[in-house]
Amino acid sequence: MTRTVRFRTSLATPLGPMAATFDGPVLVELAFRDTPASTPSPAPAGVAAALAALRVALDAYFAGHAVDFDVPLAPEGTPFQQAVWNALRDVPYGSTASYAEIARRIGRPRAARAVGAANARNPIAILVPCHRVNGADGSLTGYSGGLERKRALQALEARAA
């Protein structure tokens, strides 16, 4: 059995550096970092096309375009987390949902807090748009990249939508 070697790199964005981790051509993590981006190393052949597609899509996204990210994803998590993350991908660009709405969408209407916990553990920012989830009253609630970034992402999408 052949095991792929994970490739990690930094990507510069208007909201600060993001760390991207690929397992072969599949993205397993994309997260904001508060430390300066390091100089990225060249991607191995099996990752280069996926990384290039991610860069192009992120550039378009930050330019204010609704993007269908065409990068294969494999976030690592429990079956419940996977269900939440899949539901997040159905929240339209420029829209928001509440934790309770996501809980209902996955057939677990009493699991709003568990949805919040799964949302907080989302390993793939922007492409799995956990930034589109707000509190029941519409207020901004936690975001692993920081509330200022969440506010900026929602504002970017609202302007473009």
Domain ranges of the chain: 6-62, 79-160
On average, the pLDDT of the chain sits at 91
Give one word for 123, left, alpha or beta, with left for phi > 0 and alpha for psi -120 to 50. alpha
pLDDT of residue 42: 82
Q: Give the residue with greater pLDDT, 142 vs 74.
A: 74
For residue 126, pLDDT beyond 60: yes
pLDDT at 161: 67
Give the span between the Cα atoms of 108 and 74, in whole angstroms.
23
At residue 4, the pLDDT reads 63
User: Does the pLDDT of residue 43 top 90, yes or no?
Assistant: no
Q: What is the pLDDT, as a whole number, of residue 2?
A: 53
CATH of domain 79-160: 1.10.10.10
In the residue annotation, 130 being an active-site residue is answered as: yes
| Average pLDDT, integer, range 65-91 | 94
Side-chain-side CA neighbours of residue 160 (13 Å): 18
User: In the chain, how many H helices and how many E strands?
Assistant: 5, 5
pLDDT of residue 37: 59
Of the candidates 13, 12, 9, 11, the one whose C-alpha atom is nearest the C-alpha of residue 152 is: 13
Any idea which of 74-78, 100-104, 139-143, 156-160 has the lowest mean pLDDT?
Answer: 139-143
- Name the pLDDT band for 136 (thresholds 50, 70, 90): confident
Q: What is the pLDDT of residue 101?
A: 97
**Given 27, 28, 88, 130, the catalytic residue:** 130
The pLDDT value recorded for residue 160 is 79
Q: Is a pLDDT exceeding 60 seen at residue 3? A: no
Count Cβ atoms below 10 Å from residue 120 Cβ, excluding itself.
13
The structure's pTM equals 0.90
